[in-house]
Amino acid sequence: MRYDSDILYRPPGEWKSYLLQCTIGCSYNKCTFCAMYKEKKFRIRPVEEILEDIDMARDYYGPGLKRVFLMDGDAVIMKTDDLIRVLRKLYDTFPALEKVTTYAGPRSTLAKSPEELKAIRDAGLNRAYLGVESGSDAVLKAINKGVTAAQMLEAGQKLVAAGFDLWAIVIMGLTGQDGDWEEHILSTAKMINAMKPRHLSAMTFAPAKGTPLGEDVLAGRFKVCTPDQILEECHLLVENLDVDPLHFTSNHASNYLPLKGGLPEDRQKFLDLLDQALAGKIRLRRTLNRGI
C-alpha cells in the first residue's frame, strides 16, 4: 500500500479497517478549526493507482479482509463511475468484505444527484461520516464551513435517503466562552432530529496549531470553554435529541466525560452522569492538549 503521509486520519471506529487512499487531503480544507490536511494539496488519485493498491492489500492482508475506509477527507467527491469501479474491485478482491466507509463532505454530497448516491450505496459504500459540526448558521459561518445550516441538513438527508448508514459528527465548544452556546446546541439538536442519522458523535473543540481558530486562541480573541461549560452543552444536547434509535457517543479523546450508548433508552443515565460530573462527584479525564 502507498500513502502520501505517515499521518493517516480515520474515525475512531475504523481502527480495524484497511485504509485505502482515494484522495489526497480534503476537497474543501478551509474550516478554521481543522488542521488535519493543511499541509496537503488536494487531488484525486488516478483510479488505476487505487486499483493497484487494492491488489497490494490483497497480497498483504489476504482474502479475508472485512472492513475498508476510503481516505483522505472525502471520497464522495470522486467521479461516480470511478468510485463505483473502486467499490466493485474491493468486493471482488475481498470475498469476506462486510463494510466500506468514508468521510463525506457536505459540498461534494450536494453535488451528487440522488440517483448517483443511490448507485454508490448499492455498489457497497455502506457508511458515510458527515462533519456537521453545528446546526447554527452563525457558527458554520464563523468556522468557515462552506455551507449553510439548510445545506448541511440537505446533505445529511440525501445520504440517509440513499440508504447510507449515516454517522454525524458535531463539536461542542465552538462558540467559546463568550458566544451563544445555547443557540449552537439547540440548533444542532434540531438539525440532527431532522437529519435522522443512525449514529451521532459529540466531540469537544480543541485548538490546533497553525489553524485560524488556533491563532485566535493564542491571541486571546477566542476563549476555550471550561470543562463545566462543555458538560452543560452536552447536557443540553442530550436533553433535546429525539432521534429514535440513535447510537450516541461522546467518548473521543477530546471529551472530558466519556459517554456511549443509545438514545432514548440511555438518556437519563447520561444526564445523571453529567449532573454528577458538574457537581464534582466524577473525576473528569485528561483530554487533548488545549494550551497549544
Residue 291 has pLDDT above 60, yes or no: no
- Kindly tell me if the per-residue pLDDT of 194 is higher than 70: yes
CA distances from 244 to 45, 114, 194, 199, 265 (A): 39, 24, 12, 10, 9
Q: How confident is the model at residue 98 (pLDDT cuts 50, 70, 90)?
A: very high
What average pLDDT does this structure show over 166-182? 98
Q: What is the mean pLDDT of the chain?
A: 95
Cell of 72: 483522505
Cα atoms found within 13 Å of the Cα of residue 190, Cβ hemisphere only = 11
Q: What is the arithmetic mean of pLDDT over 36-61?
A: 95
- Please tell me the predicted confidence (pLDDT) of residue 56: 97
Res 276 pLDDT > 60: yes
pLDDT of residue 7: 73
CA 254 to chain centre: 14
- Distance (Å) of CA 229 to CA 54, 180, 252: 46, 12, 17
165 is written with which cell numbers?
448508514
Could you give the domains of the chain?
1-125 (3.30.750.210), 133-278 (3.30.750.200)
Cis peptide bond prior to 6, omega within 30° of 0: no
Q: What is the pLDDT of residue 4?
A: 84
The per-residue pLDDT for 289 is: 53
Question: d(Cα 74, Cα 25) in Å, to the nearest integer?
Answer: 8
Apex CA 33: angle with CA 210 and CA 109, to 5°? 125
Continuous H helices in the chain: 47-61, 80-93, 106-111, 114-122, 137-142, 149-161, 181-195, 212-219, 227-240, 267-278
Backbone angles phi, psi at 67, to 5 degrees: -140, 140
pLDDT for the residue 292: 59
CA angle, residues 176, 179, 184, in degrees to nearest 5: 95
pLDDT grade, residue 38 (50/70/90)? confident
Lowest mean pLDDT among 158-162, 207-211, 243-247: 207-211
pLDDT value at 287 more than 80: no
Distance CA 65, CA 63 (A): 6
Does residue 198 carry a pLDDT above 60? yes
pLDDT of 269 above 60: yes
Residue 23 predicted with pLDDT over 60: yes
Task: Please check whether residue 158 is in contact with residue 110, taking contact to mean a CB–CB distance below 8 angstroms.
Answer: yes
Q: Using one digit for the tens of pLDDT, what is the confidence trace for 241-253? A: 999 999 999 999 9
How many Å separate Cα 285 from the centre of its chain?
Answer: 22
pTM of the entire predicted model: 0.95
DSSP state of 70: E
| Measured distance CA(231)–CA(236) in Å, rounded | 9
Q: What confidence tens digit (pLDDT) does each residue in 138-152 have?
A: 999 999 999 999 999
Say if CB 270 and CB 221 are below 8 A apart: no
